[in-house]
Chains A and B, each alone.
Chain A
């Protein structure tokens, strides 16, 4: 496949993931928005523009009045969100299939492969979320205690920054689980068996932790910076003022952010694929210029050999 064809395919895959994620978000957000809107804004001559007025009087009143309804809608949203979260594995797997596949293929083929991978991916997604939650909970508990201890003996800034630094390490540990899951899924998308995918993902993480970690940080930075960059612009456009064009502009800005984040994730997955394919990097069209940080273990070298009996 040519580089252009690969890029086109990646763009189509990104668009598919973005569209499905937007649909999922809309399904989840609609009842919440309806509940919030129903109390003050729905009957007001200015509609829900008042919820965005400076000072937050109407917004706080809407939250106050709709707290009960919002609570029950939130419970429903969590239930639907769990189902959608599990289903969102499919577009994510489709994206991966599109990126991994060497031969020309279309959305139908990606989705077919994604459905095949669904049981394994949904399992890894659940396991990753559970482990990340456990790491973050234990980390938060330990850091809370440490923070209280340091606060009484260390200068405040030093204590807070130390806790923050350790907190970043906890986040790095949680992120490593996410990186590991992505490596595992790439190997799975390439056809490795469950055991082999687990082993190869671990080996690759150990061998290329610096490159993977650096790339992951870029992805995280992108996810943080994009919304922060856009927020002041949204404030300037100010949807509380008359003019439906304001809402259009804000929608474009926000969806630009989301699209950028999905694209950044696709680039990250391409990097993972690239790093996992280092011995044959010359055959890959995407030159990401990420040098391997150490010798490739034999088990990684052999990652695309056919599975052995008993694996």
Chain B
């Protein structure tokens, strides 16, 4: 898309926004008598919750004072007498909140914060429902939890009908915590996520998707447009969701205006020491913000985005925004790294990371960029179905990194390469029996468990499905899902149906069992045996008729390999027989039964056999029992390498 086309598209979106505003203005007068909302056109966002915010940052105090107007349309089929707001910053208010209290203690970073954070709403007026401050009626705490204030209901004095639109004016003040994860400050660095009162999403059936902020869970919200004015100290370099429309210096302060459309959140960062780099990638204005000394990391980040943005656009539908901001937090704020917001991602790693052979910076960047589709555009309920975002995104990242770097997609050191699939498989197998993958985030016993199951096991299950039934077909399924469900908050069923359509029922059933039912599988080469076959040998007959038939050396070998499949998952696999003369033979096993035998007869003996020789089934719980040979191998290479390692160690500490 050219600049001109981009401008034309911008005008088109503006006209659409205007039309929606006019439509919503019609419904303002009669909030209880609105029409049923139309279904969203395919691939187009519906602006349900749009925010106009003005905020001022007191950097030394890490405080934000703000006011705003939320324009919200009841797009559900049911009227409502309440609004649910998420006050996420209250998760860091004290150590009794759902987020901070035992046994969770800290977020995924594992670090405890050193300073509290909170958000106070001081006023909330719904224009259509009178001048009263409705915040005075709001609940004081999350439902059923007097210690948590992240999930607050505001009762309304009148019913809001389906299709009706409200204009909600509010004022608030936020105090940022020291960074635990995703949001907060560290020194003069500020990452502002979840910094304003955020309306929960109302599902089409009229249920509010509201929840207390749990350390293992992420977010869920409606699409809308955001017009945000930020007032910050003049020395701050600011990056934010959306396009920057204005940057004006007023004395010792700066006022910046940002606009973002078809997004469900707005995050920003302010730090005086940011260096900046800009690139035009696929007509997207990509802005890289990084601390001094991170030039090598910035270069690696640019290259990662240059590779992954076109790839993801091709596979999962065009990136729908004109801008992308990639932030590399300074190392002292490392817990702010690795987070995604619409058109705004944070990556991370120490300044030497890009030169270390560990593809940390690139991996994190590609992962967070992938969220622009799975979290940003599809916007599934991350609290309810975290695997739809983190799991599918980890798979997308793994495939992208593998396409770019091959076997060394995670570690590339002289003599040692580790792929993302190999590393994640180890995690996925270890936790395979702990929980189902497809369940709400708060039901997992720990963040490690989420990491192993939601991230790794989903990715490994999909990699297995692709290896067995074809990656092209799997890509088509993902493409169909991601293009059809743009801006529609899909659930798991939609994705699984695409898998059925493009890969067949067997693949659908296997994936479904792996995700929902703790499905597992272990292939085993249980036995390998050979006997000699041919004309009978020995002593035959009695007396004068007794004859002895000796071996003529032309005996046939009859060999049998016994293969078993344990567990609840079924994947067709190859079984390879290796003969003494060096030849190999492959047979296909559909694995619909629990075991099978594979026979081979001929002059050459089968000396080894292996089930799934290409290691397609990465969900296989134990690769150690997949093969069998007549004579075990000593392992000279291993001994050589270990002896060398011990020699080096002795040289280091020895006398």
Query: Which residues of chain A are near B419, meaning CB under 8 Å?
Result: 54-57
Query: Which residues of chain B are near A89, meaning CB under 8 Å?
Result: 655
Contact B415 A235 (CB under 8 A): yes
Query: Which residues of chain A are near B352, meaning CB under 8 Å?
Result: 160
How far does the alpha carbon of A155 sit from the alpha carbon of B417 in the complex, in Å?
Answer: 32
Minimum distance in angstroms from B149 CB to a CB of chain A: 29
Query: Which residues of chain A are near B633, meaning CB under 8 Å?
Result: 37, 41-42, 44, 47-48
Stretch of B118-126, B490-498, B640-648 on the interface side: B640-648
Minimum distance in angstroms from B350 CB to a CB of chain A: 7
Show 29 A/B contacts (Cβ-Cβ < 8 Å), sorted by A.
A22-B643, A26-B643, A28-B646, A29-B639, A29-B642, A33-B639, A33-B643, A39-B624, A40-B623, A41-B635, A43-B525, A43-B624, A43-B627, A45-B576, A47-B637, A55-B407, A55-B419, A55-B422, A56-B411, A56-B423, A64-B426, A85-B650, A85-B654, A85-B655, A88-B650, A160-B350, A223-B651, A232-B415, A258-B647
How far does the alpha carbon of A28 sit from the alpha carbon of B634 in the complex, in Å?
Answer: 16
**CB of A25 within 8 Å of the partner chain:** yes
Minimum distance in angstroms from B312 CB to a CB of chain A: 23
**CB of B103 within 8 Å of the partner chain:** no
Contact B416 A56 (CB under 8 A): yes
Contact B624 A121 (CB under 8 A): no
Count of A-B residue pairs with CB < 8 Å: 199
**CB of B253 within 8 Å of the partner chain:** no
Query: Which residues of chain A are near B411, meaning CB under 8 Å?
Result: 56
Contact B293 A157 (CB under 8 A): yes
Interface majority SS on A: helix, strand, loop or mixed?
Answer: helix
Contact A57 B415 (CB under 8 A): no
Question: Which residue on chain A has the smallest CB distance to residue B409?
Answer: A55
How far does the alpha carbon of A155 sit from the alpha carbon of B637 in the complex, in Å?
Answer: 45
How far does the alpha carbon of A39 sit from the alpha carbon of B623 in the complex, in Å?
Answer: 9
Query: Which residues of chain A are near B415, meaning CB under 8 Å?
Result: 231-232, 234-235
Minimum distance in angstroms from A242 CB to a CB of chain B: 10
Contact A251 B418 (CB under 8 A): no
Q: Restricting to A195-243, which residues have a CB under 8 Å from any CB of B? A: 223, 227-228, 231-232, 234-235, 239
If A48-B633, A157-B351, A251-B640 touch, whether A24 touches B650 (CB-CB below 8 Å) is: yes
How far does the alpha carbon of A160 sit from the alpha carbon of B430 in the complex, in Å?
Answer: 35
Query: Which residues of chain A are near B330, meaning CB under 8 Å?
Result: 156
How far does the alpha carbon of A93 sit from the alpha carbon of B294 in the complex, in Å?
Answer: 49
Contact A250 B639 (CB under 8 A): no
Query: Which residues of chain A are near B294, meaning CB under 8 Å?
Result: 156
Q: Which of B622, B627, B637 contacts A247 (CB 8 A)?
A: B637
How far does the alpha carbon of A29 sit from the alpha carbon of B642 in the complex, in Å?
Answer: 5
How far does the alpha carbon of A29 sit from the alpha carbon of B629 in the complex, in Å?
Answer: 25
Minimum distance in angstroms from B530 CB to a CB of chain A: 15
Contact A34 B651 (CB under 8 A): no
Contact A42 B632 (CB under 8 A): yes
Extra A-B contacts (11), CB below 8 Å, given A62-B624, A258-B647: A36-B635, A36-B638, A43-B608, A54-B407, A57-B425, A92-B655, A156-B291, A157-B293, A228-B414, A231-B415, A247-B640
**CB of A284 within 8 Å of the partner chain:** no
A contact residues vs B (CB 8 Å cutoff): 21-22, 24-26, 28-30, 32-34, 36-37, 39-45, 47-49, 51-62, 64-65, 85, 88-89, 92-93, 121, 125, 129, 151-153, 155-157, 160, 181, 223, 227-228, 231-232, 234-235, 239, 247, 250-251, 254-255, 257-258, 261-262, 265
**CB of B587 within 8 Å of the partner chain:** no
How far does the alpha carbon of A265 sit from the alpha carbon of B648 in the complex, in Å?
Answer: 13
Query: Which residues of chain A are near B422, meaning CB under 8 Å?
Result: 55-57, 59-60
Going nearest first, the 3 A-B pairs with the smallest beta carbon separation are: A37-B635, A54-B407, A47-B633
- Of A41, A57, A257, A258, most buried by chain B (CB within 10 Å of CB) is A57
B contact residues vs A (CB 8 Å cutoff): 186-187, 273, 291-294, 330-332, 350-352, 406-408, 411, 414-419, 421-423, 425-426, 429-430, 525, 576, 578, 607-610, 615, 622-629, 632-648, 650-655
Contact A43 B421 (CB under 8 A): no
Query: Which residues of chain B are near A30, meaning CB under 8 Å?
Result: 639
Minimum distance in angstroms from A122 CB to a CB of chain B: 8
Q: Which of B425, B615, B628, B650 contacts A43 (CB 8 A)?
A: B628
Query: Which residues of chain A are near B632, meaning CB under 8 Å?
Result: 42-43
Minimum distance in angstroms from A71 CB to a CB of chain B: 15
Question: Which residue on chain B has the smallest CB distance to residue A91?
Answer: B655
How far does the alpha carbon of A133 sit from the alpha carbon of B648 in the complex, in Å?
Answer: 18
How far does the alpha carbon of A160 sit from the alpha carbon of B350 in the complex, in Å?
Answer: 10
Contact B407 A32 (CB under 8 A): no
How far does the alpha carbon of A231 sit from the alpha carbon of B624 in the complex, in Å?
Answer: 28
Minimum distance in angstroms from B598 CB to a CB of chain A: 14
Query: Which residues of chain B are near A235, meaning CB under 8 Å?
Result: 414-415
Minimum distance in angstroms from A6 CB to a CB of chain B: 22
Query: Which residues of chain B are near A36, meaning CB under 8 Å?
Result: 635, 638, 642
Query: Which residues of chain A are near B626, meaning CB under 8 Å?
Result: 44
Query: Which residues of chain A are near B610, meaning CB under 8 Å?
Result: 44-45
Query: Which residues of chain A are near B407, meaning CB under 8 Å?
Result: 53-56
Question: Which residue on chain A has the smallest CB distance to residue B629?
Answer: A43
Contact A44 B638 (CB under 8 A): no
Contact B654 A61 (CB under 8 A): no
Query: Which residues of chain B are near A250, meaning CB under 8 Å?
Result: 640
Minimum distance in angstroms from B633 CB to a CB of chain A: 4
How far does the alpha carbon of A37 sit from the alpha carbon of B266 in the complex, in Å?
Answer: 52
Query: Which residues of chain B are near A254, meaning CB under 8 Å?
Result: 640, 644, 647
Contact B645 A60 (CB under 8 A): no
Query: Which residues of chain B are near A157, meaning CB under 8 Å?
Result: 292-293, 351
Contact B647 A25 (CB under 8 A): yes
Question: Which residue on chain A has the smallest CB distance to residue B642?
Answer: A29
How far does the alpha carbon of A55 sit from the alpha carbon of B430 in the complex, in Å?
Answer: 19
Question: Which residue on chain A has the smallest CB distance to residue B411?
Answer: A56
Question: Which residue on chain A has the smallest CB distance to residue B635?
Answer: A37
Contact B293 A29 (CB under 8 A): no
Q: Which of A45, A58, A60 contacts B608 (CB 8 A)?
A: A45
Contact B332 A151 (CB under 8 A): yes
If A44-B627, A65-B624, A151-B332 touch, whether A33 touches B650 (CB-CB below 8 Å) is: no
How far does the alpha carbon of A234 sit from the alpha carbon of B654 in the complex, in Å?
Answer: 25
Contact B623 A58 (CB under 8 A): yes
How far does the alpha carbon of A44 sit from the alpha carbon of B635 in the complex, in Å?
Answer: 11
Query: Which residues of chain A are near B421, meaning CB under 8 Å?
Result: 55, 57
Contact B416 A42 (CB under 8 A): no
How far does the alpha carbon of A49 sit from the alpha carbon of B634 in the complex, in Å?
Answer: 11
Question: Which residue on chain A has the smallest CB distance to residue B648?
Answer: A227
Minimum distance in angstroms from A95 CB to a CB of chain B: 10
Question: Which residue on chain A has the smallest CB distance to residue B625?
Answer: A43
Contact A25 B623 (CB under 8 A): no
If A60-B425, A160-B351 touch, whether A54 touches B417 (CB-CB below 8 Å) is: yes
Q: Which of A25, A42, A64, A258 contacts B635 (CB 8 A)?
A: A42
Contact B293 A56 (CB under 8 A): no
Minimum distance in angstroms from A226 CB to a CB of chain B: 10
If A37-B638, A157-B293 touch, whether A64 touches B654 (CB-CB below 8 Å) is: no
Q: Which of B331, B416, B615 contacts A151 (CB 8 A)?
A: B331
Contact B426 A60 (CB under 8 A): yes
Q: Which of A54, A156, A231 contacts B351 (CB 8 A)?
A: A156
Query: Which residues of chain B are near A34, meaning CB under 8 Å?
Result: 635
If A44-B627, A88-B650 touch, whether A33 touches B418 (CB-CB below 8 Å) is: no
Contact A21 B650 (CB under 8 A): yes
Question: Which residue on chain B has the smallest CB distance to residue A47?
Answer: B633
Contact B651 A258 (CB under 8 A): yes
Contact A25 B643 (CB under 8 A): yes
Minimum distance in angstroms from B360 CB to a CB of chain A: 15
Query: Which residues of chain B are near A125, meaning CB under 8 Å?
Result: 655
Contact B644 A258 (CB under 8 A): yes
If A55-B419, A56-B417 touch, whether A47 touches B635 (CB-CB below 8 Å) is: yes
Question: Which residue on chain B has the smallest CB distance to residue A250?
Answer: B640
Question: Which residue on chain B has the smallest CB distance to residue A28?
Answer: B646
How far does the alpha carbon of A125 sit from the alpha carbon of B186 in the complex, in Å?
Answer: 46
Minimum distance in angstroms from B399 CB to a CB of chain A: 14
Minimum distance in angstroms from A202 CB to a CB of chain B: 19
Query: Which residues of chain A are near B187, meaning CB under 8 Å?
Result: 152-153
